[in-house]
Amino acid sequence: MRIFNAAALVFALAIAATAAHAQTFVFSWNPRSGDAWVDVWLGDMNRYASRYRDPFVDEIVRYHGAPRDLVEDLLRRRWAPGDIYFACALARLAGHPCRYVVDLWERDHGQGWGAMAKRLGIKPGSAEFHRLKRGMVPTYDRWGRPIDLDAQLQRDFPGRGKGASKHREHDDDHGSEHGGGRSDHGPGNSHGKGKGKGKD
């Protein structure tokens, strides 16, 4: 009985260590985008991608022009999915390849995404930054994942209301078991059969 309890304890500790490691990122998680709403939902992307990796990768490749091998490499190197999303979305809006912003972030991430966006000509609070923020909503739609809209986004998406009654700190079953995508698997959905070859 004592051997069984010790084995169970070792197994439980191994699972706990694996779960803790899953959220340990190469850069400490503190996006500092300059917008609290963006920071919250980038954090939610970390939880989503830890559970639904393929739809996350598909989104970045198809809608943000990132090469699939780059996105997969960044995940292997323990980049936070929220950082990957923001790097590629920011790059696309600023007219740069995702790899360019990734390289900048790796060299100079100390002041956060808000400072990086400003450096690329997209100042937090500007119309361009709002466009970046607004682009997060269709991403969540494609994932079939609820998202709460702030007052500014509620004006942009009238009649949408709030996606979830309250933002959750843990991931639960938002959407289908295969990544939260819509069940129609139709165009504009992250479950198509595209080759995923984005520009770099």
Q: What is the pLDDT of residues 9-27, one digit of tens each?
A: 444 333 333 343 346 876 7
Share of the chain above pLDDT 90, in %: 62
Q: Give the separation between CA 86 and CA 101, rounded to whole angstroms.
A: 9
Overall pTM > 0.75: no
Distance CA 81, CA 85 (A): 6
Of 55, 57, 91, nearest in space to 74 by CA: 57
Looking at the predicted structure, is the pLDDT value of residue 95 above 70?
yes
Domain ranges in the chain are 28-156
